[in-house]
C-alpha cells in the first residue's frame, strides 16, 4: 500500500469536520487587508497626506516594532504595512491550530488508530492536514489578491501580497506539523507551535525596531512577509526562503511521523514519581498541574510585550504631535488627553485581547478533558461536576488577572524608568491594564456557556475573540457603525489612563460575565458527559 493512500478521503473528512471553522477563517483573514485598503482611501485621499503620514511613522522605531517597516506611501504600501504583520501572525496561529487538531488530537483521542485500521497510508493523515491547511492559505491569498486588485491597486503588488499570504501559511503549516510530532499531548503541541509563532513575531519586532540589527528580522518568516515589499518594488526572491523552509521542516515532520509509534511523540513524557503528590487528591491540584505551564508561558510572553510597549511609549507623543491626522485617530480611540496616555490605553487593550485568548484556551481545557474521557474518570468518583468545572474555569477567570497585572507592571516600570518617574507610571499603567478584566471575563463567560450548553460549538469562542480583535483594532479605521462596535465588550471599557475611570460599565460587564458563567455551569451540570 502506498504511504499516501487515503489522503483525498481524509482531506474530505477534514473539510466536513471544519465546515464552520474554515469559512470563518477565510472570511475574517481575507477581509482585513481589503477593508483596510478601502479605509485608507478615505482617510488619506491625496498623495501629500499619505506622504506626510508615511514620513512620520517610518522614522520611528516604535511603529517599526509594532507594525514593521513602511516601504511606500501608496494605498497598497500603507495597507501592507498596517495589516501585514498582524495578518501573518493570525495565519500562523490558524495554521498551527488546524494541523495539530487533525493530527496530534486525532492520535490522542484514538481516532487515528481507528483510521489506521482501514486502507490509509502511513503518511496520509499528516498529508491530508497539510493539504487542507495549505489550501485555506491559497484561498485566502487568492481572495486578497482579487480584492486588492479590484479596488484599483497595482496587480503586481496585489499578487505579491496574496503570494505572501499563501507562503506564510505554508510555512506555519509545516511548523504545526513538526510540533505535532514532538509531543504526546495535543495541548502541548498547540502550545509549542503557537509559542514558535510568537517567537518569530518577537524576532521580527526586535529586528525592525533596532538600527543595525535588522538582520534579526531575517530569522523570522513573519519578517520575510514584510520583506517581500508588496506595492513597493516587490522582492519576489524572498518567496524562495518560504519554499526552502517549508520543504525542510515538512520533510523532517514526515520522517518523524514515519518512525514513531502512533500516539507517541518524538520526546516521550517523563515517567512520574512512584507516589503521587498530595495535591492530586483534589481537582484543583490536577488542574494546576495541567494549567501551570500555560499560565507561566503566557505571562512571560505578555510581560515581554508589555516591556516593548513601555519602551515605545516615550517616542509616541513626539511623533503623533507632528501629525494631526494620526493624532486624531488615536484620540478617537483613547480620549483627548495626553497622547502617551492614549497609546497606553490602546496598548493595554491589545494585551487584554491576547489575555482573552489564554482565558478561552483555559476554559476549553474542560472540553479536551471530556473528549479524551479523562473527565469521565474524574466524575466517576465523588467529585461534583461543579467542582470539576471550577477547577479549570478558575484559570480562565484568575489567569488574566495575573497576566494583565504582570504586563501592566512591566510596561509601567519600563516607561517609568525612561522618564524617571516609576512611582507614578507603574500604578497608572497597572490600573489601565486591570480595567480591561471585566471585558475579558465576558468572553470567558461566553466560552463557558458554549461549553456547558452546546460543547460541539464551543470553538465558536475563538470567533467571538476574532470579532473583538476586528472591531477593536480596525473598527475606527473602517468607520464601522457605533451599534456594531458596541457588540464588543471591550468597547465599553473606560480608556484609562487617557480618560477618567468610570465604574458603572465595569460593574455591568461583570454582571453579564456572571450570567454567562452561571448559565454554562448549569448547562454542564445537566447534560450528558461526554457529549459530542
| Per-residue model confidence as pLDDT tens digits over 309-360 | 887 777 665 555 555 655 565 555 444 346 677 778 888 888 898 899 899 9
Whole-number pLDDT of residue 521: 93
Q: Where in 128-287 does DSSP place strands (E)?
A: none
- Cβ distance 461 to 450 under 8 Å? yes
Cβ-based neighbours of 482, under 8 Å, separated by 6 or more: none
- Cβ distance 263 to 112 under 8 Å? yes
Confidence of residue 394 (pLDDT cuts 50, 70, 90): very high
Confidence of residue 86 (pLDDT cuts 50, 70, 90): confident
- What is the rounded average pLDDT for all residues in the chain? 84
pLDDT exceeds 90 at position 249: yes
Which stretch of 120-124, 244-248, 423-427, 485-489 has the lowest confidence by average pLDDT?
120-124
Whole-number pLDDT of residue 111: 77
Which stretch of 12-21, 23-32, 246-255, 310-319 has the lowest confidence by average pLDDT?
310-319
Per-position b or e across 478-501, b if 16+ CB within 10 A of its CB: bebeeeebeebbbbbbbbbbbbee
Q: 405-454: per-residue pLDDT in tens?
A: 999 999 999 888 888 888 888 998 999 999 999 999 999 999 999 999 99
Percent of the chain with pLDDT over 70: 91
Whole-number pLDDT of residue 476: 65
In Å, how far from its chain's centre is CA 32?
15
Global confidence as pTM = 0.80
Q: Coil, helix or strand for 68?
A: coil
**Section 30-39 average pLDDT:** 87
Between 394 and 104, whose confidence is greater?
A: 394
- Cβ distance 57 to 65 under 8 Å? no
Confidence of residue 52 (pLDDT cuts 50, 70, 90): confident
Amino acid at each position: 500500500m502506498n504511504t499516501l493512500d487515503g489522503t483525498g478521503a481524509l482531506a474530505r473528512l477534514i473539510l466536513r469536520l471544519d465546515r464552520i471553522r474554515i469559512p470563518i477563517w477565510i472570511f475574517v483573514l481575507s477581509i482585513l487587508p481589503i477593508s483596510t485598503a478601502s479605509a485608507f482611501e478615505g482617510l488619506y485621499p491625496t498623495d501629500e497626506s499619505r506622504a506626510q503620514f508615511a514620513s512620520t511613522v517610518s522614522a520611528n522605531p516604535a511603529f517599526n516594532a509594532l507594525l514593521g517597516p513602511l516601504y511606500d506611501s501608496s494605498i497598497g504600501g500603507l495597507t501592507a504595512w498596517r495589516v501585514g504583520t498582524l495578518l501573518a501572525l493570525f495565519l500562523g496561529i490558524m495554521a498551527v491550530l488546524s494541523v495539530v487538531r487533525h493530527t496530534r488530537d486525532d492520535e490522542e483521542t484514538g481516532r487515528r488508530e481507528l483510521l489506521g485500521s482501514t486502507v490509509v497510508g502511513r503518511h496520509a493523515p499528516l498529508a491530508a492536514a497539510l493539504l487542507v491547511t495549505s489550501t485555506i492559505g491559497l484561498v485566502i491569498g487568492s481572495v486578497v489578491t482579487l480584492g486588492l486588485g479590484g479596488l484599483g491597486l497595482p496587480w503586481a503588488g496585489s499578487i505579491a501580497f496574496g503570494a505572501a499570504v499563501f507562503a506564510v501559511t505554508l510555512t506555519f503549516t509545516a511548523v504545526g506539523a513538526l510540533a505535532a510530532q514532538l509531543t504526546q499531548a495535543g495541548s502541548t503541541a498547540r502550545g509549542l507551535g503557537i509559542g514558535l509563532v510568537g517567537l518569530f513575531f518577537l524576532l521580527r519586532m526586535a529586528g525592525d525596531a533596532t538600527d543595525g540589527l535588522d538582520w534579526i528580522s531575517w530569522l523570522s518568516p513573519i519578517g520575510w512577509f514584510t520583506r517581500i515589499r508588496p506595492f513597493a518594488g516587490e522582492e519576489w526572491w524572498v518567496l524562495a526562503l518560504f519554499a526552502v523552509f517549508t520543504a525542510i521542516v515538512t520533510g523532517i515532520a514526515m520522517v518523524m511521523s514515519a518512525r514513531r509509534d502512533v500516539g507517541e511523540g518524538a520526546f516521550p513524557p517523563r515517567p512520574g514519581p512512584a507516589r503521587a503528590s498530595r495535591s492530586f487528591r483534589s481537582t484543583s491540584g490536577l488542574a494546576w498541574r495541567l494549567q501551570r505551564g500555560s499560565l507561566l508561558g503566557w505571562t512571560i510572553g505578555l510581560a515581554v510585550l508589555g516591556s516593548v510597549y513601555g519602551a515605545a511609549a516615550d517616542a509616541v507623543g513626539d511623533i503623533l504631535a507632528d501629525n494631526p491626522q494620526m493624532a486624531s485617530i488615536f484620540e478617537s480611540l483613547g480620549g483627548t488627553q495626553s497622547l502617551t496616555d492614549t497609546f497606553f490605553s490602546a496598548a493595554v487593550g491589545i494585551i487584554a485581547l491576547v489575555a482573552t485568548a489564554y482565558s478561552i484556551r483555559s476554559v476549553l481545557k474542560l472540553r479536551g478533558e471530556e473528549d479524551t474521557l479523562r473527565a469521565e474518570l474524574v466524575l466517576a468518583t465523588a467529585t461534583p461536576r461543579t467542582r470539576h468545572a471550577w477547577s479549570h474555569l478558575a484559570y480562565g477567570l484568575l489567569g488574566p488577572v495575573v497576566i494583565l497585572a504582570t504586563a501592566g507592571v512591566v510596561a509601567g516600570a519600563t516607561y517609568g524608568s525612561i522618564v524617571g518617574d516609576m512611582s507614578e507610571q507603574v500604578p497608572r499603567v497597572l490600573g489601565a491594564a486591570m480595567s480591561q478584566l471585566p471585558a475579558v471575563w465576558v468572553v470567558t463567560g461566553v466560552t463557558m456557556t458554549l461549553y456547558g450548553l452546546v460543547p460541539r460549538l464551543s470553538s465558536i469562542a475563538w470567533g467571538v475573540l476574532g470579532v473583538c480583535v476586528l472591531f477593536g483594532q480596525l473598527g475606527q479605521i473602517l468607520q464601522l457603525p457605533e451599534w456594531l462596535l458596541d457588540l464588543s465588550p471591550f468597547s465599553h471599557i473606560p480608556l484609562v489612563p487617557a480618560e477618567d475611570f468610570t465604574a458603572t460599565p465595569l460593574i455591568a460587564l461583570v454582571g453579564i460575565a456572571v450570567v454567562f458563567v452561571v448559565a454554562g455551569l448549569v448547562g454542564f451540570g445537566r447534560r450528558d458527559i461526554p457529549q459530542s
